[in-house]
Amino acid sequence: MVRKKKLTLSTTQIILLSFLMTILAGSVLLALPISSANGRAVPYIEALFMATTSTCVTGLVTLPTVSTWSVFGQIVILLLIQIGGLGIITIMSGLMLLLNRKMGISDRLLIQDSFNLNTMSGLAKFVKNVLFGTLIVEGIGAVLYMLVFVPAFGARGIWISVFNSVSAFCNAGIDIIAENSLCNYATNPLINIVTSALIVLGGLGYIVWWDVLRVVRSRSKRNRKLFRHLTLHSKVAIVVTAGLIFIGAILIFIFEYANPATIGEMSLFDKIQVSFFQSVTTRTAGFASVPQEALTNASAAVSIMLMLIGGSPVGTAGGMKTVTIAVLVCSAAATIRNKNSATLFGRRISEGTVKKAVAVVVAFFTICAASTVLLMATSNASALDVVYETVSATATVGLSRNLTATLNTFGKLIIIVTMYFGRVGPISLAVALGSKNESQNVISEPMEDISIG
């Protein structure tokens, strides 16, 4: 009797399938008439697009969220955003812990790979902290939003506040306030501060959270040199994030200062806060406080670069990640200065880390380049608008220069695939690079130098 071989899936395949199945399930629910605000089912391609952009926490939409979807549809979208931000593996692991079920080795491997962690110790506590920390931060954000939205919208303001808080923390950028995103609140300090804080906290990553809390608890109040006791990962994530936000804000402030279509007619204070918000939201959040199509070409170029870099690892943000770029820049600087290895904050970066960074960047640019060429072939939009759209989709940002709604069916399918690979591609690549080679070649290929540059 021939015994059938049991089909086993790798952790990479499980992660890919978990996102895919969530998208498909969400698209079916959103295609139901009950999900539509007018009671008539939307075309399936629109439901699939919305399910994809929600699960991949991107934020590009073909139809206005506030007027297209019913309360039921908005609940489905919010659940997809939360699942996409945390990951279906995290959600399922949290349910297991809630039901007092023990996590097996395969469950622990999945959690380790989905967060790209270096160890399997303390994973149950890590998942609990992630879920609890997320709930606390999103809850605080919702309460602060209510101070503005409840007086403006009444009881509906509570739902708007909860939705916006989850969307901001998960870096989704989808809102149910108005069809022009947060443009009506561009100069509201509370909305700007709360939204920016949620975006940054979600984008910094959970590892940085716990590391900062560890240092704060362990150091005495008299010792104020807390930064130097952080891990290298946290130092890089915090410094690069802060640097990019400030540099981006300064450049946008300069390039948009006299632009009447954006901040040209605003007071100096409002110009500063809107510039900072634009710099923050490009970190894969996708909320817009000024029309993106009205930005100068220089500001659009700055926004594209910020979108590509994105947030930090083990968080809710997308992009190539701050740590990845820092590693590449330091490696390039070391090569230029004829150094044997790159260093960051007095620590040597391993060759394996540099290789992973190179792989992630190549993967990102490959996805983005392919999407750009295909979208240009199916659209008459300008090159800048197409690149802005594809970078936004690849880095799961959600900012658009009003191109998404004009896409034909083929164009929408291109963006759907781009958002999916932009979200799961880097995760899968990180898992693949993190796994050990089962077989090592005893005899390696001969080496030969080639010219570079």
The per-residue pLDDT for range 164-190, each reduced to its tens digit, is 999 999 999 899 998 888 999 999 999
Range ranked top by mean pLDDT from 89-98, 145-154, 316-325:
145-154
Please indicate, yes or no, if residue 437 is contained in any of the structural domains. no
Give residue 75's pLDDT band: very low, low, confident or very high (50, 70, 90): very high
**Which DSSP state fits 338?**
T
Q: Is the pLDDT of residue 264 over 60?
A: yes
Is 259 within a domain?
yes
- Note the pLDDT of residue 227: 80
Higher pLDDT, 453 or 285: 285
- Please report which confidence band the pLDDT of residue 438 belongs to, taking 50, 70 and 90 as the band edges: very low
* Local confidence band at 382 (pLDDT 50, 70, 90 cut-offs): very high
pLDDT score recorded for residue 105: 58
The structural domain count of the chain equals 1
- 176-185, 219-228, 268-277, 354-363: which is most confident: 268-277
What is the chain's mean pLDDT, rounded?
A: 86
Question: Looking at the predicted structure, is the pLDDT value of residue 400 above 60?
Answer: yes
**Is pLDDT at 384 greater than 50 in this prediction?**
yes
Place of tokens 């490696």: 331
Q: On the CB side of 119, how many CA atoms lie within 13 Å of its CA?
A: 7
The interaxial angle of helices 123-153 and 189-204, nearest 10 deg, is: 170
pLDDT of the residue at 407: 93
Q: What angle do CA 369, 375, 377 make, to 5 degrees?
A: 105
Q: Does residue 278 surpass a pLDDT of 80? A: yes
| Residue whose C-alpha is closest to residue 347's, from 356, 337, 334, 359 | 334
Give the per-residue pLDDT at 439: 47
Does 244 map to a domain?
yes
pLDDT at 307: 94
Rounded mean pLDDT, 85-112: 64
Q: Residue 312 pLDDT more than 70?
A: yes
pLDDT of residue 408: 93
Question: How large is the average pLDDT for residues 285-305?
Answer: 94
Whole-angstrom distance, CA of residue 433 vs CA of residue 452:
25
What residues make up the domain containing 26?
11-107+121-431
- Residue 436 falls inside a structural domain: no
- 443 within a domain of the structure (yes/no): no
Over residues 19-31, mean pLDDT: 94
The whole-angstrom separation of Cα 137 and Cα 166 is 9
pLDDT band at 228 (very low <50, low <70, confident <90, very high): confident
- For residue 336, give the H/E element and its range: helix 322-336
Residue at 295 is within a domain = yes
Answer whether residue 95 is part of any domain: yes
What is the per-residue pLDDT for 452?
A: 60
What six digits make up the tokens of 362? Answer: 């190549």
* Residue 219: how many other CB atoms lie within 10 Å: 13
Residue 83 pLDDT > 60, yes or no?
yes
Which of 13-27, 48-62, 304-318 is predicted most confidently? 48-62
Greater confidence (343 vs 90) lies with 343
Calculated CA dihedral for residues 58, 63, 66, 67, nearest 10 degrees: -170
Residue 130 — very low, low, confident or very high, per pLDDT cuts 50/70/90? confident
Q: Scan for tokens 């915090």, then name that residue.
A: 238
**438 in a structural domain:** no
Residue 450 has pLDDT above 70, yes or no: no
DSSP class per residue in 265-285: TS-HHHHHHHHHHHHHHTTTT
For the stretch 103-115, pLDDT in tens is 665 556 556 555 6
Q: What's residue 355's pLDDT? A: 86
- Determine contact, residues 398/58, Cβ cutoff 8 Å: yes
Q: For residue 440, what pLDDT band results from cuts at 50, 70 and 90?
A: very low
